[in-house]
Structure formats: C-alpha cells, structure tokens
Structure 1
C-alpha cells in the first residue's frame, strides 16, 4: 500500500490582513454547494452571467479544497522561490519571448512597467501536464501534488464555471467544456508568483503600479485568495477598487478567450496590481493562480448558435473586424505572451490613461 505521508516542505505563514480601511469591490460569491441540482445550477448561472456581463469578477466558495489543503498549496508555492537557487531559476527560465510559452521561471525585471521601471516579480509556471518538461530538484517531490492541483482547478472549478457560462448563453452545458479538454494540446497552467517590495524611487516613477491594468490572455483565471491587498479591478464606472481577501475562496475572472467566444457578451476583466497599503508594504506577496485556456486549435470566434447572442447581437466580433478571421487560441496566446511587458506601448488617441499595442491585428489596451 503506498505511503500517505506527504513530502516535508517549510510552512508558509500567511501575512495579516491590511489594517487600513480600503474601498473594496462588491463582488458576488458563488457557492458551488448549490450546484448539485438543475435548479441550483440555474440560480448560479444567473449570478455568474450577471457578474461576467458587468464586472467580470466573482468569488467561488465550497470548491472542494479544505482550508488545510489550501494552506498546503501555499506551502508548495513558496518552495519554488525559497528552496530553489538563483542558478537553478535561471537554468529553468521560460522562453516567453521566443516561443510564446510561459512554462518555467519568469525572473525579476523581465517586464517593463513604466517610467523605465522594471518589475520585481518572480513567477514559476507549470503546465497542467506537469511532466511536459523538467523542473528544479526541489520541485520534483511535490510534482504529484501540483498535478492534483491542476486537475482540481481544471475539472472541479473551471469546468463547472464553463457549464454555468454555457447555461447563461442558453447553449448545451458541455459546449465550453468541450473546448477545454485536459488531455488536448494547450497551455493551461498553474502559476506561483511572488511580488517583492520596490524602492521608493521606483514607486514614484511607476505611479505605484506593479502591473498595469490589463485583461488576461486565456478564458478563465483562478486566483487563490490571500491577505495582501494589491489586486484592483476597474469597475463599469471607471473607478479602481481593491479586491478583498476571503479565506479559502477562489477569485475568478474572465479573459480574452471568453470575451471572444461570447462575442463580447461576457467581458474580459480589466485588473491591475499596485503597491500594497502601508501596513503591508514591507511584505512579500505570494500568489497561486490557474490560467485556463481553450484547446490550442479552437478558433476564438463568437458562438453564434447561442440563442442569447442571436437576440442581443454580437457586441464585439471578438474584437476582430467582421471581415477578419479569428485566430486560434494558440496564435492568440503566443502573440500576447511574447509581447507582454516587452514591446513599446503607444498612448491611446481616444482614451486618457490608456496605452495600446496591436497583436494579430487586434488592439490590446493597457490601463494606467
């Protein structure tokens, strides 16, 4: 009988919440425990549809992991940064700029933020197929647990959300799930990331922004809630608000892929990361994410069979002109990944505080 003893890893101590009174976004909480009946799923689908057509952000609770399991997730995440040498991080550095793939490490100062300031963020990205490439020695003992996390995120969180989104479009429940097969060729991945405090000079030059306002590349992003306030979302009223920490909740947002597939009915969430409030300013911020993307060969064109889209019309032809051909998920992710934080942005002629770049003929906006 196999041993149930988990490999020992150092305990990661979650930091305290901010002591300041912050203006938090009022986001819906989706309780997965209500989704076991058709009536419950219909109720959740209505909540998710409302969230994704307005703010694009919501929380998920009762997602299948206990608080203790989530604590272990953060313990393992910290291993990627505290138990791997700088030499090994460089050895397993990703090839974002040449291959359009985030697999491996993104080291500090890879992204240009603003005013000549480069980022102070480390990332470790690992494909849902954890055996797709080699990993640092410190990571290898916990690979089975990372594989379990990827499967849990994909099957137990992303797929149920995709079913609710399909119901909101009045399509068969498995419509979007069938575009997100776990064993297909694709780039859905777990990301561990650590933000390190910056100098006051860099904060001034970059206007306290650590990652400019942007939309995510894929379809659904999962972010395990943690106490350090830094994530903000741009509301429909044009105002930035903080995203509040809820213990053992997952923060969910829509990416470009869902906006494209829904013809703009569901909106890709505009969000950014800024310097934490004073009470947390000296702390490192550890994050755990799962970035879901459709299969590489999926064309990101509106699902025109949706009765909802037939009634309301295509708000945006996936941001593409009516005469253009929608790219596949592979083409879109490679184009955006290779360009992110590396190409020159131009000020928008229409929108103040917005910078733009063109990828695959599509204008991608960054908000500052």
Structure 2
C-alpha cells in the first residue's frame, strides 16, 4: 500500500514560557497511562472523584497523543484564522445569538466584557459529528485529522473521564457515557480559539480581565494546555489563581450539566481569562478546546440512584420537574452570553436567569 501523506501546514510558533513569579493553583495531575484497564480505572476513580469534588479541575497526562501530534493540531488550529480571507470567513459566521449554536466563526468584538470594552477573541468551531458541516476551503484538506482529533477527545479522553466520574458516585461505569453519543447530531464541539493582544486602555477598563469568570454550561470541558499563562480558576479558598502550563497535557473542568447530574457533588468550577504576564504580552494565544455536552434531549436532573448521593445528600439548582434539557440550557446560555442584560450585584457578580436557573459571571 502507498504511504499515507498528510498535507503541509504552516507552523505556529508557540509563545515562550513565562519566567515571571506566578501564584499557581494546586490543580491535581492525573496520569491516564493505565486508564484503559478496569484495574487502572479503579485506582484512578478516587483521585478523579476528589479532584472534581474539591476543585472541579484536574490536569491529565499520558492521554494517548504525542507532543508532535499535539503540535500538529495546533498548527491546523491556526489555519481558519490565517489562511481564510475575511470575505470567506463571513460566510461561516456562527448563528450563536439566533440559534444558540457555535458552529463556524465567532468574530472578535462579539461579546461585551466590561465598561464598553468588547472581546478580542476569535473562535472557529466544528460541531460533532461534523461530517455534514461545511468548512472554509483552506481547512478542508485537514478535516480527516480534525475528525480524528475529535474522536480521540471523545472516546479516549472524555469517555474515560465519564467512567471515572460514574465510579466516584458508585454508579455503573457507563452511566454518563450512555448520555454522550458521538454519531448523532449533537451539541459537543471542538473549538479553535485565538486571543489577540488588547490596548492598554482596554486593560484598564476591564481590570485586565479578557473573559469574565464563569462556569461552562456542558458536562466536561477539555482544554489542551498551551504556554500563555492566562487561565485562572477560583480556588476553594475564594482566591483567583493561575493554572500552570504542563506540556502535552489536558486541563479538565466540570460544567453546570455535570454539577446538576451529580446533585452538586462534582463542582462546576468558576474560571476566567486574564492578561498574560509581562513577558508573554504582545503574543497571540492559540488554544484547542473540546466542549462536551450530554445528548440534546437528556434532562439535567440528579442521579438519585447513586449510593454516594444517598449518603451525602443532593443539592439541586432547580426542581426536577422544572429541569431543562441539555439542548434548552446550552442554547440559552450560548445565545445570551455577552449579549444580554445582566443584573450587577454589589459584590461585582453579574446574574442572568437561563431556563429557570441563575447563571453568574464574576468580574
């Protein structure tokens, strides 16, 4: 058989690592080397349970992709931003405000951040299962690799995390996996995100915040770690701390849907993006993110048959009879974020009501 060739792609030069003194969060590091065996999962389940209950965040290493494969995907992630003309990009603008979906481009200055300042973040999203989605011409040669990367995230990383979270609740391993199908039209998507430097005036007006503190709306978010130190989480002591870059690792956080499924046992962690340290300013920040959602028609109600929840109790955000489906909640969150009226509380927290639930953004 002839050798399979892959199309050439321009290399994205990553930002040099920072040498600044940083107050890092103690994000637990989870080694996935043996997650493919029942014995390995049994050993990892308590670690993941404690990480996601205490922090709602963890860092995964030995996830199955090499550093070279990781870098190749970063190079591909840059294609929609550098190789597609603006007039062609305009044909693929997502209908987030109208339809609550992320498919295609989110342009810069789409969201309001604070004090009249709009964001400088550009996205390109591929929605699972992606095979029917139209893409810009420059990205089309790389679609087999994009699809393969999505499958790796879904089956080799996400599903294993979901199994470990189910074990942590003493539920059957496949409990959450069965709510996250890949080959049906769904909500889960891969996002290429590029952050551009901002003016000094914008930094002052927003107090250096690039994306306000928030929780994700889905179940599990996978952020492939990149060198620009700008992500912060609110740690259990109520302080903002940076997440350290670990080469070829995945930062994992739980979202609102997982917190609701687990009756408050697993925490949807508050996180934000801020101006990078001095020696990383002036560079772009390019990221790979896989946002997982339960199947569209799944109701966001607790797993009351969990022996763990029966022992520790259940915290509900809304009564079960009033709980939204994953489709309802995710669509409303997407359409409203950065584009709707909020109530500013005295402590600086912005509040919105989404599908009967209170959603907060932290300034």
Q: Say whether residues 1:346 and 2:343 are aligned partners.
A: yes
Matches within 5 A, 1:217-236: 217-236=217-236
Q: State whether residues 301 and 323 of structure 2, in contact with CA within 8 Å, keep that contact through their aligned partners in structure 1.
A: yes
Deviation at 1:38, TM superposition (A): 3.3
Q: Which residue of 323, 326, 329 corresponds with 1:329? A: 326
Q: Say whether residues 1:169 and 2:172 are aligned partners.
A: no
Deviation at 1:40, TM superposition (A): 2.5
In the alignment, the residues of structure 2 paired with residue 221 and residue 266 of structure 1 have an alpha-carbon distance, to the nearest angstrom, of: 13
Q: Residue in 1 aligned with 2:195?
A: 195
Q: Say whether residues 1:363 and 2:358 are aligned partners.
A: yes
In the alignment, the residues of structure 2 paired with residue 2 and residue 37 of structure 1 have an alpha-carbon distance, to the nearest angstrom, of: 34
Deviation at 1:91, TM superposition (A): 1.2
Deviation at 1:132, TM superposition (A): 2.6
For structure 2, list consecutive stretches of 5 or more residues without a partner in the other structure.
Answer: none
Deviation at 1:324, TM superposition (A): 4.3
Q: State whether residues 296 and 326 of structure 2, in contact with CA within 8 Å, keep that contact through their aligned partners in structure 1.
A: yes
In the alignment, the residues of structure 1 paired with residue 283 and residue 78 of structure 2 have an alpha-carbon distance, to the nearest angstrom, of: 14
Deviations 1:87-107 (A, max 9, x none): 111111000001110000000
Deviation at 1:344, TM superposition (A): 1.6
Which stretch has the larger CA shift, 170-179 or 24-33? Answer: 24-33
In the alignment, the residues of structure 2 paired with residue 52 and residue 200 of structure 1 have an alpha-carbon distance, to the nearest angstrom, of: 36
Q: Residue in 1 aligned with 2:97?
A: 97
Matches within 5 A, 1:125-274: 125-274=125-274
SS in 1 for 2:333: helix
Deviations 1:229-278 (A, max 9, x none): 10000011110000000010011000111001011110101100001011
Which stretch has the larger CA shift, 190-199 or 353-362? Answer: 353-362
Q: Residue in 1 aligned with 2:74?
A: 74
Q: Structure 1 residue runs of 4+, over 3 Å off?
A: 36-39
Deviation at 1:2, TM superposition (A): 5.7
Q: State whether residues 128 and 151 of structure 1, in contact with CA within 8 Å, keep that contact through their aligned partners in structure 2.
A: no
In the alignment, the residues of structure 1 paired with residue 185 and residue 296 of structure 2 have an alpha-carbon distance, to the nearest angstrom, of: 6
Q: State whether residues 99 and 335 of structure 2, in contact with CA within 8 Å, keep that contact through their aligned partners in structure 1.
A: yes
Deviation at 1:12, TM superposition (A): 1.3
In the alignment, the residues of structure 1 paired with residue 103 and residue 185 of structure 2 have an alpha-carbon distance, to the nearest angstrom, of: 14
Deviation at 1:60, TM superposition (A): 0.7
Q: State whether residues 129 and 186 of structure 2, in contact with CA within 8 Å, keep that contact through their aligned partners in structure 1.
A: no
Give the structure-1-normalised TM-score: 0.97
Q: Say whether residues 1:299 and 2:296 are aligned partners.
A: no
In the alignment, the residues of structure 2 paired with residue 184 and residue 306 of structure 1 have an alpha-carbon distance, to the nearest angstrom, of: 27
